Amino acid sequence: MAQEEICIERLVYGGYGLGYLNKQVVFVPFSAPGDKLLIERTSFRKGVQWGEIKQIIKPSPSRTTQFCPNFGVCGGCQFQHISYSSQVQFKQLTLQDTVTRLSKLRDVKINPCIESPIQKGYRNRVRLQWMDKCGKKGLGFYKPRSHKLVPIEHCPILSDEINKCLGQLFLHLCKNPISELREIQLTKGSDSQVLLTLIAHSFPKSNSYLNKLRDNVDVSGASICVKSINKTLWGAKHTNVFVEGNKFQAGNNAFFQANISLLPKLIQYILKIITAKNINAGIELYAGVGVFSVPLSRKVKTLFAVEINRQAATDAVTNLDINKIKNVVLYPLSAKDGLDILSAKCSPELILIDPPREGLSKTICNKLIQIAPQQLIYISCNPSTLARDLKILLDSGIYEISDIQPLDMFPHTSHIESVCNLQKRN
């Protein structure tokens, strides 16, 4: 196939460079704004042409040397070829572009991206795929936009403790495969202890694998998960994390931020933008294990926290007790059911929402508009769904955006965490 020259103009969400050939948009993975490239067109999907770099004619000033031999092959990172100072600038611009384009908003203030204190070895949680096909065995990540596995024995963005366990586990499973295994998860707490979770299609018929696994993999506890059923194999059941002087426990099925080093800055920012001084009632949706509930409790008279995940809700109750918090009431319900009950129970001045990547449903957005608290704080891990939800909230005419603060929770990847501060119009 013919090779063509292209200049990369900007990055789009997902980490792809965008350029034009004959007025047609072309996405080029692992490129950088300012690159002059020779590419080969590879595929046309969902109305977009994709290209593969064959030669860098003139590199972007933001380019740097990758630090991982698997970069560009494994699907874990997208930005190792870009200097860190440029990464955070591009994330700010990408967030601006995504919110403006998808929400049709103009003049949205996007603050400079808050950098992660640690850019390598920052991940304290990872999930890897297991492959055992046609004589090939290995743990790893999928190649970009495929289901082809790239075996990984060491990853430089994972913590040292997780890498140690990963190397042990890789060797052990290749010699002693577990036929029912599908994925593994490793989680590290502030005390450097690591938990292992085996995610399987079904429970193994025999427990003969247990002793060898325990002898060869240095973890403080292990469990096996089949669908929604979780069974402890040995040792600890929770990781312990310390944030801003508070202690949290999190089970293997409960969500907890993977980059603990940036959590204090995220919490400090949220507390800083809360405008009201005497808040009688607040609501937190998707409360998880209570990481935000604990600091928020000191800003409100009563906080109603809503979390549907059973293990996370149980951990949240424990964490409130550990940190001696008495003014938080937990509802182990869906966000919709929680809002239905609480809208009849109180008139909250503040609602904080931290939804998963899929964002909010239209029903939740409309319920928030109906309740109309003085301030809405939306923590997002997906600029596309944030933009979609903001359009609904702002079209109501009730809210305006004060600002949006991006945070680099995942250096060297295209992921963008952000906090959107919505204030009720006067």
- Determine the pLDDT at residue 133: 76
Q: Which CATH architecture describes the domain 99-117+258-424?
A: 3-Layer(aba) Sandwich (3.40)
Neighbouring residues of 311: CB distance < 8 A, sequence distance ≥ 6: 230, 251, 252, 253, 254
* Segment holding 385, helix H or strand E: helix 383-395
Long-range contacts of 177-185 (CB under 8 A, 24+ apart): 177/132, 177/137, 178/204, 178/209, 179/132, 179/204, 180/204, 181/130, 181/132, 182/129, 182/130, 183/127, 183/128, 183/129, 183/130, 184/127, 184/128, 184/130, 184/139, 185/125, 185/126, 185/127, 185/128, 185/252
Determine contact, residues 36/58, Cβ cutoff 8 Å: yes
3-63 and 99-117+258-424 share one fold = no
- Determine the pLDDT at residue 138: 87
Cβ neighbourhood burial of 136 (10 Å; 0-12, 13-18, 19+): exposed
- Determine the pLDDT at residue 331: 98
CATH topology of domain 125-239: OB fold (Dihydrolipoamide Acetyltransferase, E2P) (2.40.50)
Report the CATH number of the 3-63 domain: 2.40.50.140
**Tokens encoding 127:** 């999930």
pTM to 2 decimals?
A: 0.95
Q: What is the pLDDT of residues 93-149, one digit of tens each?
A: 999 999 999 888 888 889 999 999 999 999 999 999 998 876 788 899 998 878 889
Least Cα distance to 188 among 280, 137, 136, 252 occurs for: 252
Domain locations in the chain? 3-63, 99-117+258-424, 125-239
Q: What is the pLDDT of residues 68-109, one digit of tens each?
A: 999 999 989 999 999 999 999 999 999 999 999 988 888 888
Order of strands across the sheet that contains 125-133? 149-151, 136-142, 125-133, 181-188, 194-200, 221-226, 229-235
- Pick out the chain residues at pLDDT < 70: 1, 134
- Determine the pLDDT at residue 125: 96
- Determine the pLDDT at residue 403: 93
- Determine the pLDDT at residue 298: 94
DSSP secondary structure string for all residues of 67-85:
S-TTBTTBSS-S-TTB-HH
Q: Where are the alpha helices (DSSP H) in 152-240?
A: 160-175, 209-216
What is the distance of C-alpha 405 from the center of its chain?
16
